[in-house]
Structure 1
Amino acid sequence: MAIEFKKIVLITSGQPSLNPRIVKEADALAEVGYDVTVIYQFWNNWATQLDQQLLAKKKWKAIRVGGDPVTEKFIYWKTRVQYKIYQKLLGLIGLNYKTSIGAIGRCTKLLIKEALKTPAEIYIAHNLSALPAAVIAAKKNNCKCGFDAEDFHRNEVTNDSNHIDFKLKKFIEDHFIDKLDYLTTASPLISEAYQQLYSKINPVTILNVFPKTNLQLIKESSNRLKLFWFSQTIGEGRGIEQIILAIGQLNHQTIELHLLGSHSLEIKSKFEEIALKNNLDFTQLFFHSPISSDQLIPFASQFDIGIASEISTPWNRNICLTNKIFTYINAGLGVLASDTLAQKKLLEDYPGMGFIYNKNEISTLINCLNTYINQPEVLKNQKKQALSYCNNHLNWEIEKEKFLNIIKVAIS
């Protein structure tokens, strides 16, 4: 795709290592010749270590604002205090433009400041607290802006329309989304939700998929059935407890559960205690520390089944599609997914690569695991189907062209 040399700024209130989606977009833009800058902020220490490895290999620039608790303590703690003050002010004086900008994110004001002094043809926000920065910088520099909504933000935390988190996010969305030149989302149902709210915007779905895998052969399953779950953080209320209970009720010693993500010793001990109480021993439950996003798919490919144990509340959880489920597909795993609306739709649209289970009825999860144990051909066929979908339909090569075309049209 031949282009004129143009500058593009992507903005996030997270870190590159915590957001594979912004990395894929930045890479895609840089590959075709755009001058790309990513503006971001500190989120946690382990991601900072991964960022150092990641950014050293990239063709695009990265600018961090807001400091961190180790090397730039003053600005970090100053912004934390200011953020807390603005959150308190919401309850005292209510929502207005100033309080909403201050309360939507620790570094939103600094993201705005940095974006304003970084000229570009288009500013692209990732996550809601970066949205004001993209729109304000675009207006000041008389150029275009876009927003990538991986979530349905007003319902990320609660379904209660009287809750302050809902009101704040709705205020930000209402104030800025209508000013966008384009809106992308990470699932068809999120696109539908935003379309209903903002009729002038026509959201385009860009799935959370990854580049085509080099995996060609499905390894034969060993005598142990290896289940895999990952997220940025391992914690309670993520469906892990139900998985452990299901394995325990099967009382099958050849099933392993592998969990990857940041975790405290307290959480590790808590899940180990649940496991021991439910007939699992320490040879069945494994904890893995976070790894870089480019290592994730090769790491996942050593397992048999990827578990997407998403919950249905608040509403965003019901309609989002995380990079978790697409990682499993790309790694050639069988997919075991809870019955959220978005995951049910995905497995209906792409049948044969996994099972949907009822997250409120543990018997359905047990039945799925029983099938894998007693009918190994089912798992083998699911793995083949997952790789087929990855290589022919669900891959970044396809979604990337959609994304690049959106940018080309927006700035042409």
Structure 2
Amino acid sequence: MEVIATKLADFVEPRDQSIMAAAPWRLKRVTFDNRWLWRLGRSLQIVARLLRTFTPSRRLDMLALSPMSRHLVRAASARSADLFIAHYPAALPAAAAAARRHGTQYAYDAEDFHLGEWPDDPAYDTERRLVHAIEGRYLPSCAYVTAASPLIAEALVETYGIEPPHVVLNVFPRSQAPAAPTTQGSAAPRPSLYWFSQTIGPNRGLECAVRAIGLSAYRPHLYLRGTPAVGYVAQLEKIAGETGAQGRVHVLPPASPDQMENLAAHHDLGLASEVPVSRNREVCLTNKLFSFLLAGLPPLMSATPAQRRFAAESGLADLVYPVDDAPALAALIDRLLSAPDGLASLREQIWRLGQERYNWDVERNLIRSAIQGIKC
């Protein structure tokens, strides 16, 4: 197996290399280190966007969507495979072109509902039209489609009229989990509320979380792991100073993806504070949610449609709070922290959910079933 991936941001390269150190597959990088090459790609993208308004075509749609697409087509078509799998819209033309060249098939893994990634604003109409054109052209001919949440799958069916995708959650191997459930967090100071992502920034429910720890009777600390957006931590500290949470917001450095579960287990509660600023945020289930389950860390979930449904189906409805409702989140934190024995029992329940259901050792069988079901 071989993965073709772009290289755009140097700051994630150490994490990519840590994955490659143990990966059982080969990696082909499509790099954009040369700034002139990148500028040429961006220029072609701008010209293609202008031309396609007069004469839309398959090639112009591909060039207009992303400067990376034509390079991905070249890289994928140079390799022979029985199945090509695209993981985002810019890669769909490449997977389809490579499959066509080699007389094989292609599939699509929708980690997000890409058509709904932008706010409902006319400024993003061009991006939406391009994604709709690409997905609408290629999805009906896929050997299969997978989606990272039930609501993403439903959105794809509703939008493109395709067969229902296989739902394959963004879960992680059992080998990354703590060996046993912990009764409480060990982060100092504690009690602690934990959140992580690639970027620490707005529209992730963190402002609400800071206000909630200011209201909580147990005065928990909030730990945020990731790379802060410029000036954003200062905004959170200002909110903390205004709400009684001063000195209780901590920023932790990024860490390797395979460490996320063991790092999470050091805390008392996890935070899945998604804000439905776009259709995708309404329907997606994030990586951190499943890292928390594997870590045995109770996830406090904002009531987006996807998280609300997941919580009901997994028996965790009591861990949901209204979106952007700091008093409700504070009350949920206090209810859990006020009963140490109950919290220890809940942590064990969460850990067992991760061990028995929400892990890659179980979920990968769904991918195998999808591949085995391909009609030759």
TM-score by length of 1: 0.84
- Listed one character per residue, the Cα deviations across residues 282-331 of structure 1 (whole Å, up to 9, x for unaligned) are 2x111122212111111111111111111123111111111110011111
Seen in structure 2, the aligned counterparts of structure 1 residues 224 and 56 have a Cα distance that, compared at 3 Å, is closer
Contact map agreement 2:116 2:278 (CA 8 A) in 1: yes
In structure 2, the CA distance between the partners of 1:234 and 1:89, relative to structure 1 (3 Å rule), is: farther
> Structure 1 residue 63: deviation in Å?
0.8
Distance of 2:184 and 2:160 partners within structure 1? 49
Contact 1:353 1:386 in 2 (8 A): no
Determine if contact 1:355/1:368 at 8 Å carries over to the other structure: yes
Q: Secondary structure at the match of 1:342?
A: helix
Provide the secondary structure at the position in 1 that maps to 2:319: strand
**Among 225, 231, 253, which residue is 1:289 paired with?**
253
How many matched pairs?
371
Is 1:141 equivalent to 2:105 in the alignment? no
Do the aligned partners of residues 221 and 287 (structure 1) sit closer, same or farther apart at CA in structure 2, a change above 3 Å counting? closer
Q: CA shift at 1:87, angstroms?
A: 4.5
1:243 corresponds in structure 2 to: 209
Q: Which residue of 2 aligns with 1:310?
A: 274
1:151 aligns with 2:115: no
Q: What corresponds to 1:108 in structure 2?
A: 69
Match of 1:355 in 2: 319
Q: Which stretch of structure 1 is more off in the superposition, 103-112 or 209-218?
A: 209-218
Residues 66, 76 of structure 1: 8 Å contact kept: no
In structure 2, what is the Cα distance between the partners aligned to 1:180 and 1:237? 33
The residue aligned with 1:193 is 155
> Deviation of residue 127 (structure 1)?
1.1
Q: Is the 8 A contact 1:66 1:79 kept in 2?
A: no
Give the match's secondary structure for 2:270: strand
Identical pairs, percent? 29
Partner of 1:24: none
After TM superposition, give the deviation of residue 89 of structure 1 in Å: 5.2
- Aligned-partner Cα distance in 1 for 2:94–2:375: 18
Distance in structure 1 (CA, Å) of the matches to 2:160 and 2:358 = 28
Tell me, yes or no, if the aligned pair for 1:354 and 1:382 is still in contact at 8 Å. no
Q: How does 1:149-298 map to 2 (within 5 A)?
A: 149-159=110-120, 163-212=125-174, 213-221=177-185, 224-250=190-216, 252-253=218-219, 255-282=220-247, 284-298=248-262
Q: 2:5 matched to 1:40? A: yes
RMSD: 2.2
The 10-residue stretch of structure 1 (192-201 or 383-392) with the greater mean CA deviation from structure 2 = 192-201
Q: CA 1:295–1:77 in structure 2 vs 1: closer, same or farther (change >3 Å)?
A: farther
* Contact 1:229-1:307 at 8 Å conserved across structures: yes
CA distance in 1, matches of 2:37, 2:375: 35
Give secondary structure in 1 for the equivalent of 2:267: coil
| Residue in 1 that maps onto 2:93 | 132
Match of 2:289 in 1: 325
> C-alpha separation between the residues in 1 aligned to 2:344 and 2:317?
10
Kept in 1: contact 2:181–2:347 (CA 8 A): no
Q: Tell me if the contact between 2:308 and 2:317 (Cα under 8 Å) persists in the aligned partners.
A: no
Query: Structure 1 104/365 Cα, relative in aligned 2: closer, same or farther at 3 Å?
Result: same
Deviations 1:214-238 (A, max 9, x none): 4313233568211111111110121
Describe the SS at the equivalent of 2:231.
helix
Alignment pair present for 1:62 and 2:27: yes
TM-score (norm 2): 0.91
CA contact (8 A) 1:215 1:331 kept: no
Report the Cα offset of residue 196 of structure 1. 2.8
In the alignment, is the contact (CA less than 8 A) between 1:353 and 1:382 conserved in 2? Answer: no
The runs of 5 or more residues in structure 2 that have no matched partner are none
Query: Unaligned regions of 5+ residues in structure 1, if any?
Result: 1-35
Given that residues 200 and 226 in structure 2 are in contact (C-alpha distance below 8 angstroms), is that contact kept between their aligned partners in structure 1?
yes
Shift of 1:66: 3.5
Single out whichever of 118-127 and 205-214 deviates more from structure 2. 205-214
User: 1:301 aligns to what?
Assistant: 265
Kindly provide the CA deviation profile for residues 120-162 of structure 1, in whole angstroms up to 9, marking residues without a partner as x: 1110000111111111111121101100001111111134688
1:392 corresponds to? 356
- CA deviations on 1:50-86 (whole Å, 9 max, x unpaired) are 2223213222111111322xxx444334334433444
